[in-house]
Structure 1
Amino acid sequence: MIGLDAIQEARKRIIGHIISTPLVWSPALSHICGVAVGLKLEHYQTTGSFKLRGATNAILKLTEAERKRGVVAASTGNHGRALSHAARAIGLRATICMSRLVPENKISEVRRLGADVRIVGSSQDDAQKEAERLVDENGLVMLPPFDHPAIVAGQGTIGLEIVEAMPDVATVLVPLSGGGLAAGVAASVKAMRPNAKVIGLTMERGAAMKASLDAGGPVLVEEFPSLADSLGGGIGPDNRVTFPMCRALLDDVVLLSESEIAAGIRYAYEREREVLEGAGAVGIAALIAHKIMGLRGPVAVVLSGRNIDMDVHRRVVNGMSNPLGQKT
């Protein structure tokens, strides 16, 4: 379990390297929900998602010997972009392994930041196996996207900022994938506001953490194309950090359909004037679909990322039935 002390130390470490993002009130969502709703604008982060916090904390904790070896990670896109940015800032070599399901706009951004990109297989698990091979054969240092104490502590700094901006927060809605964000935010929020509820939000198909929580341990899931592509991938069969934390700290996990996620993206753009990727819009999606039972306010909604392919975004906003352009 990552505690409040580690999260506060992470905050001191990464200050000056990341943006302390604003939390703004949403009159429209507050009216819909009947309670005060605030939006944590983490998609304003330098690399377009919350991932920069954990990646920066992990990079800055490396020893000099580890830095010389270079770092490697599997990613669905946003962690790879964040790790590449953080590594380049201090002159490290980064290798990012991604599957063919990762959108091209995210792959191109990782390449732009100078990382060595490996496209392997059709799942996050395939990409992870390639990253492990590079650790074994080339001696690179693994910095995974979620199941790592420094990553979780870095993401937990979002929770510190939420409580500072909303001292009486009663509910926090947070996107849930491998659990780095959800575990970190829940750890910091509940340490300071034990009665607050933290609810994880994910897509209906291929939700690895939800399936693992239901099974009582990490399980493999099939990955599917989704508007919430950043929430795809497994949690790892040897998960040691985020699974036990999510099991202990999350009050509920809510699943969202692709049409509900699309509605969240559309609402964010039309009513909040925010461009969000599917993973970043799941909190809004859950609220407008009234999927949070017994909602208590005030509510903080983490908008985790904006790195959506803009052609996909246009198709969603225009209400097209097949925004991902999949063959039918």
Structure 2
Amino acid sequence: MIDPQDIHAARQRIAGQVRQTPVDQSESLTQICGRPVFLKLEHRQITGAFKLRGASNAIALLDETARERGVAAASTGNHGRALAYAARRAGVRAVIAMSALVPMNKVRAIAALGAEVRIVGRSQDDAQEEIDRLVVEEGLTPVPPFDHPHVIAGQGTIGLEMLDQVPEAETVLVPLSGGGLAAGIACALKDARPGIRIVGLSMARGAAMAASLDAGRPVAVEELPTLADSLGGGVGLSNRYSFAMVRDLVDEVILLSEAEIAAGIRHAYAQEREIVEGAAAVGIAALLAGRLPAGGPVVALLSGRNIDMGLHARIVAGADALEEAA
């Protein structure tokens, strides 16, 4: 498992390569919820999402042989963009495989960073099969989006910043997909504040980690179109790190409807003046929907902003689902 010291080391390692993102108290959500609500603005990260932290840490720890051969990853978009950025900065070849469900704005952004893009199948598992082939045939080093100790440690640096910025927080809301983000943040926070409550948030449509936790083991779940596309994909049936860490460290998982996620996107724009993607809006969505019990200060992580702007405009105008926004 990941040791909290790995997260502290990652913070030092990637300093200067990523932004320490700000925290703002939301006046609107504080009033609505009757408790102090803070927003961790990680969507302002360099590549528009938190993934740059884990990718930068993983690239920094490559040995010389791995640097010469290059790296590869399957992605729902944001990890691929982060890995492409970190690899280009380090002069390392990057190959990113994605399914046909990944929005084209994210595909184009990855290609623009110089990565080799492969579109394979209609699921994260299909894309992962292509990466597995490249690892065997071309000797590329896999840098998976969540189930990797260096990636988890990098994402955990967000938790260390939260401790500095909102030391009074009682609850932290974290988007939950494959679990690397939630695992890293929970590891950092629980080490310093064992009583802090970590809530994982996902969409009701195809939430693989939630289904795996219910089953007591990693299971496959059909991927479905969702406004929270960055939370799609499986957890990996041979998951080694993130599933167990989420199981042991995350206190609760809440699943949100497409309408609730859309409401979160709209609120972020209209009240907070922030453009966020569906995966980043789940914390706001849970608060607006009254899905959390009363309590003390809460921090919601806004994890990314890489939403198609046409889709964003339609949601802001009132659409509650992809079908309505098409």
Tell me the residue number matched to 2:319. 320
Distance 1:75 1:96 in 2: 7
Q: 1:24 to 1:141 in 2, by over 3 A?
A: same
Contact 1:97–1:120 under 8 Å retained in 2: yes
Encode CA deviations 1:98-144: one digit per residue, 9 max, x unaligned.
00000000000000000000000000000001100100111100000
Tell me the residue number matched to 1:4. 4
Distance 1:129 1:262 in 2: 32
Contact 1:315–1:323 under 8 Å retained in 2: no
Tell me the residue number matched to 1:304. 303
Contact 2:97–2:119 under 8 Å retained in 1: yes
Distance 1:29 1:189 in 2: 23
The DSSP-based 3-state class of the residue aligned with 2:234 is coil
1:63-82 to structure 2, matched below 5 A, reads: 63-82=63-82
Tell me the residue number matched to 2:110. 110
Contact 2:124–2:233 under 8 Å retained in 1: yes
Distance 2:81 2:68 in 1: 20
Distance 1:40 1:324 in 2: 30
1:1-328 to structure 2, matched below 5 A, reads: 1-292=1-292, 294-323=293-322
Contact 2:315–2:325 under 8 Å retained in 1: no
Q: 1:170 to 1:322 in 2, by over 3 A?
A: closer
Encode CA deviations 1:258-312: one digit per residue, 9 max, x unaligned.
00000000000000000000000000000000011x2422111100000000000
Note the residue ranges of structure 1 that are not aligned, 5 or more in a row: none
**In the TM superposition, what is the alpha-carbon distance from 1:152 to its structure 2 partner?**
0.3
Q: 1:321 to 1:211 in 2, by over 3 A?
A: closer
Q: 1:41 to 1:71 in 2, by over 3 A?
A: same
What one-letter code is carried by the residue in structure 2 that aligns with 1:305?
A: G
**In the TM superposition, what is the alpha-carbon distance from 1:168 to its structure 2 partner?**
1.6
TM-score by length of 1: 0.98
Deviation >3 Å, runs of 4+: 321-327
**In the TM superposition, what is the alpha-carbon distance from 1:326 to its structure 2 partner?**
7.3
Contact 2:18–2:46 under 8 Å retained in 1: yes
Contact 2:73–2:145 under 8 Å retained in 1: yes
In the comparison of the two structures, how many residue pairs are matched? 326
Distance 1:326 1:26 in 2: 28
Contact 2:262–2:320 under 8 Å retained in 1: no
TM-score by length of 2: 0.98
Distance 2:177 2:308 in 1: 20
Q: 1:182 to 1:265 in 2, by over 3 A?
A: same
Distance 1:323 1:121 in 2: 20
RMSD: 1.0
Contact 2:261–2:285 under 8 Å retained in 1: yes
Distance 1:276 1:183 in 2: 22
The DSSP-based 3-state class of the residue aligned with 1:53 is helix
Contact 2:204–2:256 under 8 Å retained in 1: yes
What one-letter code is carried by the residue in structure 2 that aligns with 1:26?
A: S
What one-letter code is carried by the residue in structure 2 that aligns with 1:316?
A: I
**In the TM superposition, what is the alpha-carbon distance from 1:321 to its structure 2 partner?**
4.8
- Counting aligned pairs with the same residue, the percent is 61
Note the residue ranges of structure 2 that are not aligned, 5 or more in a row: none
The DSSP-based 3-state class of the residue aligned with 1:17 is coil
**In the TM superposition, what is the alpha-carbon distance from 1:2 to its structure 2 partner?**
1.1
**In the TM superposition, what is the alpha-carbon distance from 1:51 to its structure 2 partner?**
0.1
Contact 1:171–1:295 under 8 Å retained in 2: no
What one-letter code is carried by the residue in structure 2 that aligns with 1:315?
A: R
